[in-house]
Amino acid sequence: MSHRAVLALGSNVGDPIATLQGAVDALAAAPGLRIVAVSSPYRTAPVGGLEQDDFVNAVLLAETTLGPHELLASCQSVEAAFHRVREVRWGPRTLDIDVIDFDGVIDDDPELTLPHPRAADRAFVCVPWSEIDPDAVVPGRGRVVDLLDVLDMSGVHRITSTVLAVPGSAS
């Protein structure tokens, strides 16, 4: 059985563009996961109050035969391959991959809350998500394009000089 998943990627350490492309490549090679679309990369201001470099963020749509916790484990495995360290909440990171939505499931599981509890409040998620899925909905919160009407998008800037490529796709 195939499920639809939305993943958000972010990086602000090293070469974020290369890291995000590497993450897309690694996720595309993960068993049980097929990438359907990847947004443009966006340069975004950090949130959480820590002084740090801007992030580069992107969102991808995937089809998967994995369950939500298996998908999370796969994402964490890719993060680990890119030397993700969890020292400071909302701090700098080589790679962050969040499961934003999984088949519209609403679940308060502390290990994997679905949809992601802050997705609807984050322009750096909603802007790239709406780019690749204009009809997207954050379960329990509404259409992503409608959420954009109330989000501060001043810190979100599309990087037009770079395209994140899905391995094996014609684009």
Question: Is 4 a catalytic site residue?
Answer: no
Pair 73, 56: CB distance under 8 Å: no
- Give the residue from 167, 6, 153, 23 showing the smallest Cα distance to 93: 23
Round to whole Å and give the CA distance between 125 and 55: 12
Residues 6+ apart with CB under 8 A from 151: 121, 122, 123, 126
Question: Is 89 a catalytic site residue?
Answer: no
Among the options 98, 101, 122, 133, which is catalytic?
98
Cβ of 68: how many Cβ atoms within 10 Å?
A: 20
Among the options 4, 34, 84, 158, which is catalytic?
84
- Give the residue from 59, 55, 53 showing the smallest Cα distance to 16: 55
Among the options 43, 93, 101, 133, which is catalytic?
93
Among the options 96, 101, 122, 133, which is catalytic?
96
Question: Is 122 a catalytic site residue?
Answer: no
Positions of E strands within the chain: 3-11, 33-38, 42-44, 55-64, 96-102, 137-138, 142-143, 156-158
| Amino acid occupying residue 119 | A
Question: Is 84 a catalytic site residue?
Answer: yes
Active-site residue numbers? Answer: 84, 93, 96, 98
